[in-house]
Amino acid sequence: MEDVAREAKVARVTVSRVLNEPDKVKPTTRKVVLEAIRRLGYVPDRVAGSLASRRSGVIGAIVPSLSNAWFADTMDGLAETLAESGFQLMLGQSRYRLEEEEALAESFIGRRVDALVLTGVHHMPSLVQRLRQIKLPVVETWELTTDPIDCVVGFSNFSAGKAVGEHLWRSGRRHIGFIGAHEKRAVQRLEGLQDSLQKHGASELNVELVEPPSAIHDGSAKLGLLLERCPDLDAVFCSNDTLAVGALFECQKRHRAVPNRLAIVGFSDLPIASACIPSLTTVRVPARNIGVAAGHALLKRLTTPNEASAQAIDLGFELITRESA
C-alpha cells in the first residue's frame, strides 16, 4: 500500500479510501490511485484490514455434516448470499456433537468472524452464554424457538410431523411406523406425529432410530425390522427422504406394494422424491432458503447501524402429496 501511495503521489489513507469509500475521493485522484494499484498488481491485505477495522468480513457456519444434501443446500444458499456482498464463509462440521460445535464456535470467535450461523437451537449452555455475552450476531437454523440466542430461521419440525400424522390418519392408515435419525430435529418430527396420532386415539407407534448421518441403507434395514416386528404395518414416516427412498427400495425388493400395502412419507423433498417410482409423498422444507434467509438476516444486521433486528423467521413447510402415501 505504501508503494501504491508513492506511485500515485498520495497518502496511504487515500489508497485505503479509494478501496473502501470511493465516494469520498475526488474522481481524478481516484483514477490515479486505481491506475497505480493496477500497475503494481496490489492486493490489499484483508487480515491487516480486519485487525484495524475490527470487522473480518467472514461469517462462520457450523452444520452437523456436509454429506447431508439438505445441510449442503443450506450452505450453498448461504455462501451464495454472502458472496454477493463480499463476505466469505468459514465452514465447520460438528458431526452431530454439541461439544464439537462449541469448539468450532470458539475457534471461529477467535478468528473474529462477524457472525455465526448454527444448526439447531440446542447448544452447550456455556456456548449460549458466551455468545450472548459477547453479543455476536447469531442465526440459529432449521428449527424455531421462543428463546433464540439472537435470531432464528427455520420451521416447526413438530408441526411438520403432525401434518404427516394427520395425512396418514385421514388416508385410513392405522398401523404406523417411524424411521428417523437419532437426532433433535428428527425426534421433534416424531413427537409431532405422536401428538397427532394420540389425538385420534391410535394404538402403538413402532419406532426405529438410526445414528446420523442417515444413509439410504438404514432406511432399508430399519423398514425390514419394522415389518418383521409388525407385519400389518400400513404406513411409515421417515424423518428424511434418504431413509424414505431406502424404505421404498426395500418394499420393491419384498414386493410389498406402495402405497397399497404400505404408505411411505419422507421429509425434505429432495429431487429424488419426485423422480422415484412411485413418487414420494414428503414434506418440502426450504433447505436452501434457510441459508439465503440466514444470510440476508445477517447482512441486514451487520450493515444496519441500530442492531435491533433480532427476530424469528418461520419459513414454513409444505406437505407434498404424491403417489407413495
Partner DNA sequence: ATGAAAGCGCTAACAC
Partner DNA sequence: GTGTTAGCGCTTTCAT
Which value, to the nearest 10 degrees, does the dihedral of the CA atoms of residues 241, 242, 245, 250 take?
-140
Is residue 106 within the footprint of DNA (CB under 7 A)? Answer: no
Minimal distance, residue 126 CB to DNA, in Å: 20
Measured from the CB atom, the residue of 107 and 198 that comes closer to a second copy is 107
Range in contact with DNA (rule: CB under 7 A) among 10-18, 63-71, 93-101, 306-314: 10-18
Cα pseudo-dihedral 266, 269, 273, 278, rounded to 10: 50
Using a 10 angstrom Cβ sphere, with 0-12 exposed, 13-18 middle and 19 or more buried, the burial of residue 93 is middle
Which one-letter amino acid corresponds to residue 33?
A: V
Interacting residue with a second copy among 1, 7, 29, 112 (CB under 8 A): 112
Between helices 184-199 and 157-170, what is the axis angle to 10°? 40
Q: Any residues with CB less than 8 A from the CB of 34 and at least 6 apart, and which?
A: 18
> Would you tell me how many other CB atoms lie within 10 Å of the CB of residue 122?
14
What the block records as the C-alpha cell of 316 is 414454513
From the list 31, 38, 53, 275, which residue makes contact with DNA (rule: CB under 7 A)?
Answer: 53
Is residue 48 a contact residue for DNA (CB under 7 A)?
A: yes
Cβ-based nearer residue to DNA, 9 or 95:
9
What, of a second copy, DNA, none, does residue 126 touch, CB below 5 to 8 Å by kind?
A: none
Q: How far is the CB of 37 from a second copy (least distance, A)?
A: 12
Q: Which of helix, strand or coil describes residue 57?
A: coil
Nearer to DNA, 29 or 65 (CB): 29
Within residues 41-60, the interface with a second copy by CB under 8 A covers 43-48, 50-51, 56-58
Q: How many residues bind to a second copy according to rule CB under 8 A?
A: 53
57 binds DNA (CB under 7 A): no
Residue 112 backbone class (left: φ over 0; alpha: ψ -120 to 50; beta: rest): left
| Closer residue to DNA (CB): 41 or 231 | 41
What are the contacts of 1-6 at 24+ separation with CB within 8 A?
1/42, 1/44, 3/40, 3/42, 4/33, 4/36, 4/37, 4/40, 4/42
Stretch that binds a second copy, among 82-90, 201-209, 222-230, 231-239 (CB under 8 A): 82-90
Binding residue (CB under 7 A) for DNA from 31, 38, 49, 177: 49
Which among 247, 163, 258 has a CA at the least distance from the CA of 210? 247
Tell me how far, at minimum, the Cβ of 220 lies from a second copy, in Å: 7
Contact (CB, 8 A) for 116 and 136: yes
Instruction: Tell me the closest approach of the beta carbon of residue 40 to DNA, in angstroms.
Output: 11
User: Measured from the CB of residue 145, what is the shortest distance to a second copy in angstroms?
Assistant: 26
* Residues engaged in binding DNA (CB under 7 A): 1-2, 9-14, 16-17, 19-20, 24-26, 28-30, 44-45, 48-49, 51-55
